[in-house]
Amino acid sequence: MSPLATTGNLIRAGRPQDARRLAELMTRGLHTRFSHLGQGVVILLHRHMTTSRHCLCVVAERQGRVAGYAAVLTSGRQFYREFLIRKGLLCGFLALPRLARISNLRTIFTALSYFPAAADNDPDAELVSIVVDQAVRSSGVGRDLWEGVVVGLQSRGIPELKISTDVGNERANRMYQNRGCRLIRQEPLYHDTEVNVYVYRVPQRPEC
């Protein structure tokens, strides 16, 4: 995608050299179970996000520093299959010291089995993360990231986007509802997490 300059934020495609910073933002801002596998695994995953053709990774820069990012898997099945083929051995080596914990094994199993278990009529594209550095929240970074995602989806001709978020995350649920996302169901993600599942219909680009 071409860089977009908005309200002091530069929106651009993610790059491999961003991976460490993106992993840091994810670990601090999302508190996902992937972080339990070690920062090396999280960095490896984000490096793959910036290079895979099955992922749309959008980054926000503010005053020359990455202030947030969003990642859409255009095909979760293809993305994780590619990740396992290209980086599976290294990922296993990095995660090995932590695999003795049952909860971490459950995290890996859930991640690898999630997309095949998705409903057949769900959109292939799914927003898997959107996070903004806490220091710059309320500065338009989140809004600009969303607009960058929409532009990226339009450029790839993707008509619909699936979004899952914790039912208790009022801020995120309100944001998606305000952007016209349609709640289609609730479902368990991990054994102790219930999520709202939304579908967003990507607006068509106006013809020139």
205 Cβ neighbours under 8 A, 6+ residues apart: 154
Start-to-end CA distance of the chain, whole Å, equals 19
Share of the chain above pLDDT 90, in %: 56
Phi, psi of 113 (to 5 degrees): -100, -5
Residue position matching structure tokens 């993610």: 14
In this predicted structure, the answer to whether residue 114 has a pLDDT above a threshold of 70 is no
The reply to whether CATH 3.40.630.30 applies to domain 4-201 is yes
Identify which has the larger pLDDT, 125 or 80: 125
What's the pLDDT score for residue 101?
58
Identify which has the larger pLDDT, 124 or 97: 124
Phi, psi of 68 (to 5 degrees): 175, 170
pTM of the model: 0.84
Confidence of residue 205 (pLDDT cuts 50, 70, 90): confident
Phi, psi of 144 (to 5 degrees): -70, -35
What's the pLDDT score for residue 206?
65
Helices 76-95, 102-117: crossing angle, 10 deg rounding: 170
- Give mean pLDDT, residues 168-197: 89
Dump pLDDT digits (tens) for 18-70.
999 999 999 887 766 666 667 888 999 999 999 999 999 999 999 899 999 99
Domain ranges of the chain: 4-201
Confidence of residue 15 (pLDDT cuts 50, 70, 90): very high
Dump pLDDT digits (tens) for 136-177.
888 889 999 999 999 999 999 999 999 999 999 998 999 999
